[in-house]
Amino acid sequence: MGLTFTSQKETKMKGTELIKTKKHYEILDGLRGVAAISVVIFHFLEMVYTDYSKNIFAHSYLAVDFFFCLSGFVIAYAYDDRIEKIGVGEFLKSRLIRLHPLVIIGSILGLIGYFLFPYGDIANRSIPELLLIFVCSLLLIPLPIMKERYGNNFGLNAPAWSLFWEYIINIVYVLILWRLPRRVLLLLTFLAAIVLAYASYNTRGLVGGWGGDTFWDGCARVSYSFLAGMLVYRFKWIIRTKLGFLGLTILLIPAFTYPFNSEWNFLTEPIIVLFYFPLLVALGAGATTSSKTKKICTFSGNISYPLYMSHFFAIWIFGTYQNIYKFSGFSLFAVVSLCTLIMISIAYLTMTYIDAPIRNYLAQKRNSS
């Protein structure tokens, strides 16, 4: 076994590579925010309608597959040509700095929500057991033991299940995927599509991955969509279009709101994930935004991840009040709309005053070391 030494000059070069910025795909950022808002609305309505056919945003859990596809495109675009220069360690540090502060913030908010508004019999848990759940949440270790929270892999912050798989696929990317030629990636994507279709058939749709019973569905979902996003970049399947942010938003939302049919979801949902989402990523990468919508896209993209990772404590709180007041009709519309706006505001404040300062501090420490 040989030892590799890195000179101070080489270390500085790695730091320079890390802070290089590339063109931002503003419309893709904006669409990520639209998808995150759809997830929030879906989760609020999920507390009202156990019958998903009554939930207008019933397919919004597919936003996770859209996120994975976006991630594959963006990671390949940002790192394919510089992994060799920065190295595995620096890539993983970069991803930890980008992702993990909000994992911690979401866990803390979930713990606060636990004490302020106990849901069901959760208040009967012992302190050691709760501490174990909290530590696992902080470290992104799946622990589906909270039956009163539907067996979520991450009981304090349910959406963290997708971050677990994002971490896994990032590790696989930096160790293996970036090295692979396009033909091999194409073959892997085809195989992943077969696995995804099987998972959908087995679970009657692509709703799985968040709980212990469907844990491996998360692997199927991230594997295909991340690889598909990589292929869009690698093969330059970028479609020039004048649709703009509004036009692509109009194309994206029906994927989350089309009628829910438990008999046909196993077929319609894979079609959307296998073909429609990569197409939207290709269109979004080829679209341009006007000066009027650029700010909207930037804001939407900035709050998307904080919103996704910080909203779920409020869902349990809403569920508690829903059990008491039974919101329906206009009152339900008004409450969900208000709660969504509040969560967007909390996401913005979290990003501005907690997440961004922490990430900037950690990035400075890394670059100076």
CA–chain centroid gap for 168, Å, is 13
pLDDT at residue 12 is higher than 70? no
Q: Provide the pLDDT confidence category of residue 1 given band limits of 50, 70 and 90.
A: very low
Under DSSP, the state recorded for 117 is S
325 vs 178: CA distance, rounded Å: 52
46 vs 39: CA distance, rounded Å: 10
Angle at 6 between CA 77 and CA 74, to 5 degrees: 10
Selection from 230, 221, 248 nearest residue 180 by Cα:
230
Please tell me the number of Cα atoms within 13 Å of 232 on its side-chain side: 30
What is the pTM for the complete model shown?
0.93
pLDDT attached to residue 340: 98
Q: Please enumerate in sequence order all residues whose Cβ is within 8 A of that of 149, keeping only pairs 6 or more positions apart, or say none.
A: 119, 120, 122, 155, 158, 316
pLDDT attached to residue 20: 57
Looking up tokens 């590790």, which residue turns up?
171
Q: Provide the pLDDT confidence category of residue 117 given band limits of 50, 70 and 90.
A: confident
Look up residue 17 and give its two tokens: 């590579």
CA–chain centroid gap for 71, Å, is 9
- 290: alpha, beta or left? (left if phi > 0; alpha if psi -120 to 50): beta
* Spatial contact of 239 and 283, defined as CB atoms under 8 Å apart: yes
312 vs 68: CA distance, rounded Å: 20
pLDDT attached to residue 78: 96
318 vs 335: CA distance, rounded Å: 9
296 CB neighbour count, 10 Å cutoff: 18
* Spatial contact of 181 and 114, defined as CB atoms under 8 Å apart: no
- Classified as helix, coil or strand, 176 is coil
Q: Provide the pLDDT confidence category of residue 5 given band limits of 50, 70 and 90.
A: very low
Higher pLDDT, 23 or 163: 163
Tens-place pLDDT, residues 343-365: 999 999 999 999 999 999 999 99
pLDDT attached to residue 94: 96
* Spatial contact of 354 and 362, defined as CB atoms under 8 Å apart: no
Under DSSP, the state recorded for 235 is T
pLDDT at residue 23 is higher than 80? no
Q: Provide the pLDDT confidence category of residue 24 given band limits of 50, 70 and 90.
A: confident
Q: What single letter denotes the amino acid at residue 277?
A: F
Look up residue 202 and give its two tokens: 């087995």
Look up residue 250 and give its two tokens: 């109009």
